[in-house]
Structures are given as structure tokens and as C-alpha cells.
Structure 1
Amino acid sequence: MSEVLVTGAAGFIGSQLAYRLWQEGMKVILVDDFSYGAEDNLIFSDKDFREEICRRDIRDSAFMEALFAEHHFDYVYHIAGITPLPDCQNDPVEATDVNVRGTVILLDLVRRFGIKKMVFASTSAVYENNKDFPSVEERVEKPSLIYPSTKYTAEQFCKSFADAYGIPIVCLRFANVFGPHIDCLRTQPPVMGYIIRELFLGNRPVLHATGNQQRDFIYVDDLIDLALKVREANTFDTVNVSTGKTVTINEIYNMIAEYMGTNLKPKYAEVGHFWANYPELYEEPYPIATEIMEHEVLKYTCLSNKHAYKKYGWQPKTTLMEGIRHTVDFSIRVLKKSIIKEDMHG
């Protein structure tokens, strides 16, 4: 039986990846320190991972080395990381330590223990300064914000280990991922999680600028399909995980609102208030630059998925509306459960 390590396994993507690997008949070892993960993500209709997961930090070198020594991993899926952009911007030291040093710790263990392949979760945010679309894997204008900078740096370490030691490593650059288990409770959730939460609570969601910003969204099941296919890779590779199509935030809002049966209209706020929940980023003497905030809110995101199709025969299968229905249904169950917990604890 193949053994697979999944880091960040209590998160949105990591938990569902672990479940699919388990369904394939693999022995899955899960690691998460629950900085962002949630126990609810580990519960599936026919499997409960809560008692199996290792509640540890990937930067705990002694623990991770003991884990690699105990198991004979065929594959390592490194999904763990600090992903909310404002959290990374607010604490760049921690973000760099987790996203970069944590990755290097794993890369070194992969090298020393002779793991067959490693798959690293990167992000489309590395393209934030690109001007040619759709974005292709070979062209990256170096990013400005902390989160994509840490991911791009980690990618360079992956390339370094692959070049120096011949380790097959695949970096997957995720577009905007959505689906069941999307985080809708944190301070600054992904846009779909945020819209669903606010509409569920009867609030008018706040969208920024005009809401006509265009994004490339990928459904989590389609992403996992590709994450499994890239095990075929025998050399280093970087692969976009995307639909190659764009949709506006207003269109997303309208689709969610229609499915939830609400006539609530969004409010629109100035670009500069996008990270208003993190006031320290706007404080003197060096507040975050207005032009950086404007660019983050207004940027156009569209990734080419031609490489994924040509090399791995992968294409996304889930329609946007189908994915939204699944996302809303699951998120509402999470929100109801959260409210019950709050009521129980006063």
C-alpha cells in the first residue's frame, strides 16, 4: 500500500485531497497545526480523520524527521502554508518562516529519505504584476506582496532541489479555488466564502470598487484531479490549475444571491478599505501603499491551462454554477453549526 504525506491536511484543499487519496486506497498521513485548519474539514460521510491527524507544525524538524523515518512515503503533497494575503502582509516574518523555511525543511527530508515525488501548492498570486494574459507558467513578473513573494521564493527552492538532486517536484499554481470546505468564518475569507456568510446572516456584503474585477475560479474537485495526475511527472514542472476563463465579482455575487434566494444587493466600498479589518497595515510611519491596494483589488486574473492539458490530459469538468451550488450548500451547514456552537457557549 502506497503511503502519502499531506501537510495542511485540515485545511480547505488539503483535507479533500487527503480524502481522495484515501479513496484511492492509499495510506494517508495527515499533518496540520490547526493555525488555519478545522476539525470539521476532516469529517466525511464514510471517513473521519480527526483521530488520525498529527497536530504538529511542519517547522518542527525533529518531529518531521521522525515521521519520515517511521513511514515510507511514496509522495509528499505540501499544502500547508499561511495563505490569507493580509495575514502575510501583517506578519511577514511568520509568513516567510512558514511558507519558505517550512518548505525547505520538507524538501530536505524528501531528498534525504528518497521520496518519489513532491507536489507543492503555489498560487496564481505570483502573477500579480503580469501584464500579458492569459498568464503562462514561463513568464512571471516578480510579485510585490508578501504572500506571493513567499510562494514564489519557495518555488525557487523547489527548482533548486530538483536541479541539484534530480527530485521530481511539481509546483501547482492554483487560481481562485472554491468548493465545499471553503473558509467562510475567518476574518478575511475568500470572496465566495465571504459573500455566502454575509448573505446567510442577512447582511449586505461589501464589494470593492465596481465589482467588475475579473477572476479565474477553479473548483476544488477539478484541482484535486490534476493534483493526482501530476504524479506522472518525472522532472520538475510548474503547472497552472485554472479554467482559463474569467468571471466578474458581480457575476459571482448574483449567482450566489440567486441560488440563496435573496434580493439583498451588495454595498460598494473604496479600494483603499479592502483590508479594513487589519488597521495596523494603514498605520504610520509606513502604511501600505495605496497603489498596491488598488492593484490587488482591481487586478485581472486569467491563467492558461494549456500546459496541464497537453502534458497531463487534464481539463476542468465542473461548471461555475454547479460548483457554486455545492459551495453554498456546504457553507450554510458550517455556518449553522457555528451559530449553534456560539449559542451553547454564550
Structure 2
Amino acid sequence: MKVLVTGGAGLVGMALRRHLQAAGHSVLATDITDFSRHDPDLFLADLNDHARLEQMVVEGEVQAIVHAGGISGPLMQREFPRSVMRINVDSTVFLLDLARRHRIGRLMLMSSHVVYGHSDKVVVSEEDAVHPGTTYAASKVAGEALVESFAREFGISAAALRLTRVYGPHRRANCYLRQAIEDSFVGRTTIIPCDPSFPYHFLSVEDVAGATLAALAAEKLDHSTYNVGSGEVLTMDAVRNIILAVVPGARIELVEGRDPAPEVQNDFSLRRMAEDAGWRPQYPLSAGFANYYRRALADGKVMQ
């Protein structure tokens, strides 16, 4: 299969490229920058460069699109809400229309668990109402609505994956796990402000790639949204213990405070992905973080 990956230089995009290629797929990856990595397999193109993207789709005979590009978290460009909406929503509708006009077999949108906002549910499922609390979350809700509308109106095969907190190599945005590894390399104590009872849902980027490949390979996707998580709910104290068990000499201090993305979600149902795509998470935090640390140790730094 020939797959176009947007956001190909990002956390999710880099892992997707590796997994797709390992599975024998041909990958066309694009991003606005390669972050000075001198990446010869990355096509530099802005998401607003519609002519360039369409040329890539046509000339590359693209059969599927994974849209992992755009503003990738609620803390990024927070002071520019119109820009967040313009970039995320416009790029999604353009790529959906490309899929419609060029009869591309499947489109996957990387969405986020933040669409749910604060939830009192014991287990959050895709059937629950969304209550976006940030412009970023609203942009993902809009993208999901477009995915569903294009599927209904034009019959294209498309779905959105609602990812929980993704970690792994090439993460550039704020991440306590990345910070702990970086601090360990220089003998610094990692200070983490948190509420002791706040639930965290860390998701290995390897599981994101696995879920995406499973969704691309599924004969039919019966739904337009899918939760993708690790299946774990952890307090920050439990996260600290996992870090300390993996990283020799790590020092972690938890102080009173709250997470920058404070909406509470207790647990997530992963049944849809299991039933429709046969996917289940493979990396609890203990395994996923150990892999992350080994890669950073081998490279001598946290890859960004």
C-alpha cells in the first residue's frame, strides 16, 4: 500500500513511517520542517500548500492517508486560537476532499482524548458526548465531524483515532517522561507538580503506530471514532515508581500542583478497536518507557 503521512517529522509521524515501512508499505511523508535532521525521505511542504500535497497524492499513486500533521496538543499555540482552528480544520477537510476526488481507499485522522473534556464516567466510550475545553480540542471535534460527514455523504472510508497521552522518541512538546530521561543524563532532579489522585493515561507511540496499521488493514471500519490507549490508569506516584525502576540514578520529586491539561478522564473503553480492527495495546508504561529509555541511552540523548 502507498501511504501519505502528514506530520511525518513529528512524534507520531516518525513512528508511523518506521512501522509502515517495516510492514512493506511505501511511504510518502511530509512536514513543514525536518527539525534539522537532514531527513532525505521527508518532503517539505506546508499543510496550506494544497497544490503540492495534491501533486504528491496523484504522482505517488497514494492509496491511503494518515493525517498526523497540524497543531498537535492543547498547549501549543494556545495564544493563537484562530490559527489552531485554521491549520487543523482546513487541512483535515482538504485531505478528506482529496480522498473523495481521487478515490483513496482510507483516511485516518489522529485525534485526541481531550475531545471528551472533563468526564465523571468510570469508563469513557466513543458513544459519550464530547465537551471540548480548549480550542485545540474543539479543532479535533470539528475534524472528527468532517470525517463522519465525508463518510456518510461521499462514502469514503475514514476514521479518527482518539489518542491518549503519547510519549516516545521525537516528542518535542512538554512531557514528564522525556523530562525525567533528560534530567537523569545530567544528574538533575525532575520536579513534577501534580494532584496525587489525578489519573494519567500514557500511550507508547509504538502502540499508536500499531493501532494505525491495524485500522488501515481492517477490511471495514464500522465507526468513525476509536479510542486508542494503553489500557492503564496510573497516578503520578505510580508513574514515578516506573521511572525509578527503569532509569538508574533518576531523582523524581512530586510537588503540589496540577497538570497543564487538567480535565479528568478515569478510564477508556478500547472495545471498538479490538472488535473492528483486532487491535489491543501491547505496551504498558513499564515496557514502553523502558524501550524509550533504551533508545535514548543508545543515542546519548532524547531524540527530538
> Normalising by the residue count of structure 1, what TM-score does the alignment of the two structures yield?
0.80
Give CA-to-partner distance per residue, 1:205-250, whole Å, 9 cap, x none: 2222334421122222222222111122255521111133201122
Tell me, yes or no, if structure 1 residue 107 matches structure 2 residue 107.
Answer: no
Provide the residue aligned with 1:284 in structure 2: none
Tell me, yes or no, if structure 1 residue 262 matches structure 2 residue 249.
Answer: yes
| Structure 1 Cα separation of the partners of residues 133 and 302 of structure 2 | 38
| Structure 2 Cα separation of the partners of residues 326 and 95 of structure 1 | 32
| Structure 2 Cα separation of the partners of residues 39 and 140 of structure 1 | 41
Provide the residue aligned with 1:243 in structure 2: 230
Judge conservation of contact 1:4–1:26 (CA < 8 Å) in 2: yes
Provide the residue aligned with 1:147 in structure 2: 136
| Structure 2 Cα separation of the partners of residues 204 and 33 of structure 1 | 34
Judge conservation of contact 2:162–2:225 (CA < 8 Å) in 1: yes
| Structure 2 Cα separation of the partners of residues 72 and 140 of structure 1 | 38
Give the aligned residue type for 1:191. Answer: Y
Provide the residue aligned with 1:117 in structure 2: 106
| Structure 1 Cα separation of the partners of residues 293 and 221 of structure 2 | 38
How many residue pairs are counted as aligned between the two chains? 301
Give the aligned residue type for 2:292. Answer: T
Q: Which residues of 2 match residues 298-317 of structure 1 at below 5 A? A: 299-317=264-282
Shift of 1:270: 3.2
Give CA-to-partner distance per residue, 1:146-198, whole Å, 9 cap, x none: 2111111111111111111000101111112223x142xx4x52221122223
Alpha-carbon spacing, 1:333–1:269, altered in 2? closer, same or farther (3 Å): farther
Judge conservation of contact 1:162–1:235 (CA < 8 Å) in 2: no
Give CA-to-partner distance per residue, 1:118-154, whole Å, 9 cap, x none: 0110011112222213110111232111211111111
Provide the residue aligned with 2:187 in structure 1: 202
Provide the residue aligned with 1:285 in structure 2: none
Query: Secondary structure at 1:173's aligned position in 2?
Result: strand
Alpha-carbon spacing, 1:111–1:213, altered in 2? closer, same or farther (3 Å): same
Tell me, yes or no, if structure 1 residue 158 matches structure 2 residue 147.
Answer: yes
Provide the residue aligned with 2:57 in structure 1: 68
Provide the residue aligned with 1:93 in structure 2: 82
Higher relative contact order (CA 8 A, sep 6+): 2
Give the aligned residue type for 1:203. Answer: R
Q: Which residues of 2 match residues 45-64 of structure 1 at below 5 A? A: 50-64=39-53
| Structure 2 Cα separation of the partners of residues 149 and 157 of structure 1 | 12
Q: Which residues of 2 match residues 257-336 of structure 1 at below 5 A? A: 257-262=244-249, 264-271=251-258, 296-297=261-262, 299-333=264-298, 336=301
**Bigger helix share:** 1
Query: Secondary structure at 2:174's aligned position in 1?
Result: coil
Provide the residue aligned with 1:226 in structure 2: 211
Judge conservation of contact 1:168–1:235 (CA < 8 Å) in 2: no
Query: Secondary structure at 2:63's aligned position in 1?
Result: strand
Shift of 1:332: 4.2
Q: CA RMSD in A?
A: 2.2
Provide the residue aligned with 2:176 in structure 1: 191
| Structure 1 Cα separation of the partners of residues 266 and 87 of structure 2 | 26
| Structure 1 Cα separation of the partners of residues 222 and 47 of structure 2 | 25
Provide the residue aligned with 1:344 in structure 2: none
Flag structure 1 segments of 5+ consecutive residues without an equivalent. Answer: 43-49, 276-295, 339-346
